[in-house]
Chains A and B, each alone.
Chain A
Amino acid sequence: MTDEVPQTALPPVSLPAFSGPLDLLLHLIRVNEVSITDIPIARITEQYTAYLDAMRELDLDVASEYIVMAAELIQIKSRMLLPRPPGVEEADPRADLAQRLLEYQRFKRSAETLHAIDTLRGGLWPRPETEAPRGEGAEETLEVSLFDLIETFRHVTEEYRLAHPPALAIHHLRFSVRDKMQELLDRVEAARTMPLLEFLGQMRYRAEAVTAFLACLELIRLGVIRVFQSHAFAEIHVRRTELPFVSEQIRDNYGD
């Protein structure tokens, strides 16, 4: 049991749940059988930090408050190590911490009392809250707090928001065979020959690629371009034919 920990031993492996750094400190004070008002600060600090290390080793998140307390303990320890000028009465550096521990312990003990009462009273069953049968239109008075009102308002606005979603504008991505014909023509006229897959691969959308492919087929049908490949499954190349063709013809003949 933890109570049998020798004074210099490291803390036991099992870590009870502490509700905070003061709770851990009280635990150490108890197992060391020392007084709150006369804490052997070096020993307690060492054990306290060892606990934090153990918590880290177990991958437990060490809350920042525990680290703040460790810093405070180390500070008190260092203040106690400082030589005091002879004849000068100086306040015990531990006094403030002892005061806080005493106060905290008082509430901790109250909490234990409340826990005991709660456990005992948990076995008493009152009539559950039920609504008395009421006629239509009977208004019930409720006891509500400001926070109930805020919560209700938040709930209502949230309901409203869900029931009335903002108008969602869907930008329809439209590609036209006409545009793609023009694009393909421009590219192929600039480069003389062009790999078809590379051209199609530059399309960002599936629909765009399909449109571009249709544009390619259309230009082939018109005899404006020719496609060829060196052997089966090789890259398909596009080449401009000698057929005279101007962009206006595309614009005039292919609507949206």
Chain B
Amino acid sequence: MDHSERSGRARQSERILPALEAVLFSSARPVREKELAELLEADPADLAEALRNLAAGAEAPGRGLRLERVAGGWRLVTRPEFDSLLRKFHDVTERSRLSLAALETLAIVAYRQPITLPEIQEIRSVNSASVLKTLFEKKLITTAGKKPVVGTPFLYRTTQEFLVRFGLNDMTELPKPEDLDADLSATVEAREIAAPTAAPPSIHVDAGAEREPELPEAGE
């Protein structure tokens, strides 16, 4: 890449950046790069450069927004430190939470998809039909055909909404179960790790009471 090509790219990126910002500002859903490139009639490389610059600008101190790459696209969200301010402004005290049972079921679907309800219940040893319905209504899971076994039960898989909610660009970014597995056999160690957070079974109890003030650079 010679000097003129680089400056050409910079020029192009500078040209499309305001339009890019306008499009992303107006969109509630993440927008794919391909769609952005077509819309802005931009070279994919120029667009990538513009996205980088936009992200860098948003990440700079003194800004209220950040650009995030999620579910295969890009979108603008507010910075985490303004959560309490925004909740005050929009008069939101409680946000809808997923119960422990719902999160367990969701995790099983995420790692074992496509999976049927009986298979989920086998793992959880608990009736999971209503929990599955909740996840379905929240559009975090959807059906993926039927399993060709007796009774042809529905198969379930996670959705785009799941990726967006958990800040994943695609399913490969889902934390590997093996990463969480390291201390599986040694339960005493596991207990020690779990101990500082007190009783883990009551994980849902802290709903919104205490939240971390600063978001580590997750999902990027």
**Known A-B contacts A107-B107, A110-B110, A145-B142; A30 and B194 likewise in contact (beta carbons under 8 Å):** yes
Interface positions, chain A 62-76, Cβ under 8 Å from B, are 63, 65, 68-69
Nearest chain A CB to B165 CB, angstrom units: 7
Q: Most chain-B CB neighbours within 10 Å: which of A69, A100, A108?
A: A108
Nearest chain B CB to A105 CB, angstrom units: 7
Interface positions, chain B 72-87, Cβ under 8 Å from A, are 75-80, 82-83, 86
Are B28 and A127 within 8 A (Cβ)?
A: yes
Q: Most chain-A CB neighbours within 10 Å: which of B27, B75, B108, B185?
A: B108
Q: How far is the CA of A73 from the CA of B186 in the complex (A)?
A: 22
Residues of chain A contacted by B106 (CB below 8 angstroms)? 111, 114
**Known A-B contacts A104-B124, A112-B200, A115-B98; A123 and B80 likewise in contact (beta carbons under 8 Å):** yes
- Within 8 Å of chain B (Cβ to Cβ): is A224? no
Are A115 and B180 within 8 A (Cβ)?
A: no
**Known A-B contacts A123-B80, A124-B78; A33 and B191 likewise in contact (beta carbons under 8 Å):** yes
Are A30 and B191 within 8 A (Cβ)?
A: yes
Interface positions, chain A 1-57, Cβ under 8 Å from B, are 1-3, 16-23, 27, 29-30, 33-37
Stretch at the interface among B13-21, B51-59, B212-220: B212-220
Q: How far is the CA of A79 from the CA of B188 in the complex (A)?
A: 27
Q: Most chain-B CB neighbours within 10 Å: which of A30, A129, A130, A147?
A: A30
Candidates A29, A107, A123, A147; contact of B104 at CB < 8 Å: A107
Residues of chain B contacted by A103 (CB below 8 angstroms)? 123
Are A16 and B201 within 8 A (Cβ)?
A: yes
Candidates B86, B99, B111; contact of A110 at CB < 8 Å: B111
Q: How far is the CA of A17 from the CA of B204 in the complex (A)?
A: 9
Are B28 and A65 within 8 A (Cβ)?
A: no
Residues of chain A contacted by B103 (CB below 8 angstroms)? 111-112, 114-115, 118
Residues of chain B contacted by A22 (CB below 8 angstroms)? 124-126
Are B126 and A65 within 8 A (Cβ)?
A: yes
Are B201 and A17 within 8 A (Cβ)?
A: yes
- Within 8 Å of chain B (Cβ to Cβ): is A58? no
- Within 8 Å of chain B (Cβ to Cβ): is A219? no
Q: How far is the CA of A106 from the CA of B202 in the complex (A)?
A: 17
Q: Most chain-B CB neighbours within 10 Å: which of A30, A113, A114, A145?
A: A114
Are A111 and B100 within 8 A (Cβ)?
A: yes
Candidates A35, A100, A102, A126; contact of B28 at CB < 8 Å: A126
Residues of chain B contacted by A3 (CB below 8 angstroms)? 191, 195
Q: How far is the CA of A29 from the CA of B203 in the complex (A)?
A: 18
- Within 8 Å of chain A (Cβ to Cβ): is B175? yes
Residues of chain B contacted by A18 (CB below 8 angstroms)? 201
Considering the complex, give the chain A residue whose CB is closest to the CB of B103. Answer: A111
Are B188 and A125 within 8 A (Cβ)?
A: no
Are B143 and A145 within 8 A (Cβ)?
A: yes
Are A122 and B211 within 8 A (Cβ)?
A: yes
- Within 8 Å of chain A (Cβ to Cβ): is B113? no
Are A102 and B184 within 8 A (Cβ)?
A: yes
Are B126 and A30 within 8 A (Cβ)?
A: no
- Within 8 Å of chain A (Cβ to Cβ): is B7? no
Q: How far is the CA of A21 from the CA of B201 in the complex (A)?
A: 12
Candidates A19, A68, A147; contact of B100 at CB < 8 Å: A19
Residues of chain B contacted by A117 (CB below 8 angstroms)? 166-167, 218-219
Candidates A16, A122, A145, A147; contact of B199 at CB < 8 Å: A16
Additional A-B contacts beyond A119-B212, A127-B25 (7; CB < 8 A): A22-B126, A30-B187, A33-B187, A106-B180, A107-B108, A118-B165, A122-B83
Residues of B within 8 A of A (CB): 25-28, 66, 68, 75-80, 82-83, 86, 95, 97-101, 103-104, 106-108, 110-111, 123-127, 136, 142-143, 165-167, 175, 177, 180-181, 184-188, 190-191, 194-195, 198-205, 208, 211-212, 215-216, 218-219
A-B pairs with beta carbons under 8 Å apart, 22 shown: A3-B195, A20-B124, A22-B124, A33-B187, A33-B191, A35-B188, A68-B125, A108-B107, A110-B110, A110-B180, A111-B100, A111-B107, A112-B203, A115-B203, A118-B165, A119-B211, A120-B212, A120-B216, A123-B83, A125-B78, A128-B28, A129-B28
